[in-house]
Structure 1
Amino acid sequence: MSGPTGAQFEITYGHARAVVTEIGGSLRTYTVAGVDYVESYPDDTHPPMGSGAVLVPWPNRVRGGSWPFEGGTEQLELTEPERGNAIHGLVRKLPWQVINHTGSLISLGIDLPAEPGWPVPLRVTISYALDERGLTVTHGVTNVGDRPVPFGVGTHPYPRAGRSATDDCTLHLGASTHLPLSPQTMTPDGPPVPLAGTELDFTKPKSLRGVDLDDAFGGCEPGADGLVRHRLAGPDGSVEVWADPAFKWVQVYTADDFLGRGRAVAIEPMTCPPDALNSGVDLITIAPGEAWSARWGLLPK
């Protein structure tokens, strides 16, 4: 099959099934026993609202599209012109190449060249694997250039609590802070503030009914098992979004008009906050020849 997202790659394990796209290397569907655990869309449709996107070499936004590097300034294309930002990295609209495809696993890669606004070439990979623990997604980045470069990684799934309506769900985040964002640019407008006791306190399960979010949360600390855990729970199922400690941030976005669904919620693990290429907060610097990897996943409950 092909369409706006290119070829479609299916993996299965028992009653679980996922479909990954060639364009963007993104997650289009994930079902268990026929029940959706991410918001999906038809294979001949452009991904709505960043659904399933891989966000490399930065997640979220770069204010003004400019950022400092080696004493100069790099200027990225303003891919969110209405807010004057570069948004969601450079690879989500490009074709990826299959590295390995078995029954329950697919790995894809893409070479990101040096280009205006991005000075150092990278090799980027992603693997999706199904097993008894659910869906595990592994990101890889290798510096194939000759200079160190900072970067960040994010992803943009819209998890579903099975057949539960979004407004019937509660959200529980493994985060402890909220990052104020400018409503004009959606980039940082002050330091992180503690979540506890605020109207955005998702440190305990909180209903999403009537709640509109496009917010960055930080202080995502792992539990005793070494993983950060966020959970969406409803009357007809729940799903956990877990992540390695490298994913210190999470963006949560509620959409009122997701294709074929209406109200939906994105829970987006990120290694750094919005505009990190300027602030430097939680950026990862990778040396020439160095490789980095980290995982996140979805676990239906």
Structure 2
Amino acid sequence: MTHSSTPADGVTLRAADAELTVEPGHGCRLASLKVAGTELLRQGDKYGSFVMAPWCGRTDQGRFRSGGDLYQLPVSSGPHAIHGTVRHAAWRTVRADERSAAFTYDLTDPWPWEGRITQVVELAEDGGGVTLTLGVETLQDSFPAQAGWHPWFLRRLSDGGQDVRIDFTAEWQEERGEDHIPTGKRIEPRPGPWDDCFGMPDGVDVTLTWPEELELNVSSRAEWAVVYDEQPEAVCVEPQSGPPNGLNTHPRLVTLIDPLEVSTTWTWRKLA
């Protein structure tokens, strides 16, 4: 069916033994992802998996340039602006059926330009994965932008279960300054714990394994992922179209004929 929901409505998708709930009224975040009844995402207003747009991670001092103009964003993480403007906004559900749904949000203040963000969520028919797609469009003038996701995967899936293992190969790690802004230097990937951005020019490919329970792979054609595992309750693997502070260091211009589009696919298999 096709419908338009009120912003407060949750949208639940189902396929085989997978169930996913999206909350368009709360940043269009994935509030829950269950496989065979087991929750994979940390619960709570700040968690689940939220959208980062029209920038990802921290923007240094909330300032960036486009052309010859300097723009100031509201600071929200120490001295920096973080994770975009849409993660607490009310989105509109424009289409939903049993396994897929589409949502939109029109950019407004404090973002300096008119634009639209679209998220499409599609569960695989066999219930073995989900594909998330973000689009960033301008309604008039060109602007720089980024887009990505910030999922909070549970560190342990069950009482007595083992901690998740994070496996990936990166070509480089963005050196992080004490202010959490990349210095611009690329270094050899270092062992965790991490709150760091990694470069994967062949595409993001990260595997999470909960021993004897579940394996989940996060993939994307995007070339950057932030990995965060400093919290005892959850870990994050964040595919994104550019690195933190990318509005300044790696801007991607969105034009009327060239929107920004990025996708990620999560696939899983049970190990027991």
Structure 2 CA distance for aligned equivalents of residues 71 and 140 of structure 1: 26
Q: Return the match for 2:245 from 250, 272, 275.
A: 275
Question: Is 1:193 paired with 2:193?
Answer: no
Question: Is 1:76 paired with 2:51?
Answer: no
Between 1:136-145 and 1:88-97, the stretch displaced more is: 136-145
Question: Is 1:215 paired with 2:196?
Answer: yes
Aligned counterpart, 2:23: 21
Q: Secondary structure at the match of 1:157?
A: strand
* Cα drift, residue 60 of structure 1: 0.2
* Cα drift, residue 98 of structure 1: 0.3
Structure 1 CA distance for aligned equivalents of residues 22 and 247 of structure 2: 29
8 Å CA contact 2:172–2:199 kept in 1: the answer is yes
Question: Is 1:240 paired with 2:239?
Answer: no
Q: Return the match for 1:58 from 44, 55, 60.
A: 55
Partner amino acid, structure 2, of 1:150? P
* Cα drift, residue 290 of structure 1: 3.6
Structure 2 CA distance for aligned equivalents of residues 270 and 166 of structure 1: 30
Question: Is 1:159 paired with 2:162?
Answer: no
Residues 61-93 of structure 1: per-residue CA shift (max 9 Å, x gap): 10000111221200000111x2x0000001111
Q: TM-score, structure 2 length as denominator?
A: 0.87
Q: Secondary structure at the match of 2:34?
A: strand
Question: Is 1:32 paired with 2:35?
Answer: yes
Structure 2 CA distance for aligned equivalents of residues 181 and 79 of structure 1: 19
Structure 2 CA distance for aligned equivalents of residues 68 and 87 of structure 1: 16
Partner amino acid, structure 1, of 2:36? A
* Cα drift, residue 167 of structure 1: 6.2
Between 1:157-166 and 1:71-80, the stretch displaced more is: 157-166
Structure 2 CA distance for aligned equivalents of residues 153 and 10 of structure 1: 23
Structure 1 CA distance for aligned equivalents of residues 184 and 246 of structure 2: 13
Distance 1:166 1:154, change over 3 A: farther
Q: TM-score, structure 1 length as denominator?
A: 0.79
Structure 1 CA distance for aligned equivalents of residues 227 and 258 of structure 2: 31
8 Å CA contact 2:155–2:163 kept in 1: the answer is no
* Cα drift, residue 160 of structure 1: 4.7
Q: Return the match for 1:135 from 105, 130, 133.
A: 130
8 Å CA contact 1:143–1:289 kept in 2: the answer is no
Q: Secondary structure at the match of 1:277?
A: helix
Structure 2 CA distance for aligned equivalents of residues 16 and 124 of structure 1: 26
* Cα drift, residue 271 of structure 1: 0.8
Partner amino acid, structure 2, of 1:230? V
Question: How many residue pairs end up in the alignment?
Answer: 258
- What RMSD in Å do the two structures reach over aligned CA positions? 2.1
Partner amino acid, structure 1, of 2:68? G
* Cα drift, residue 34 of structure 1: 0.9
Unaligned runs of 5+ in 1: 201-210, 223-227, 257-261
Aligned counterpart, 2:3: none
Higher strand share: 2
8 Å CA contact 2:206–2:219 kept in 1: the answer is yes
Percent pairwise identity: 24
Between 1:166-175 and 1:147-156, the stretch displaced more is: 166-175
8 Å CA contact 2:120–2:134 kept in 1: the answer is yes
Unaligned runs of 5+ in 2: 1-6
Distance 1:189 1:287, change over 3 A: same
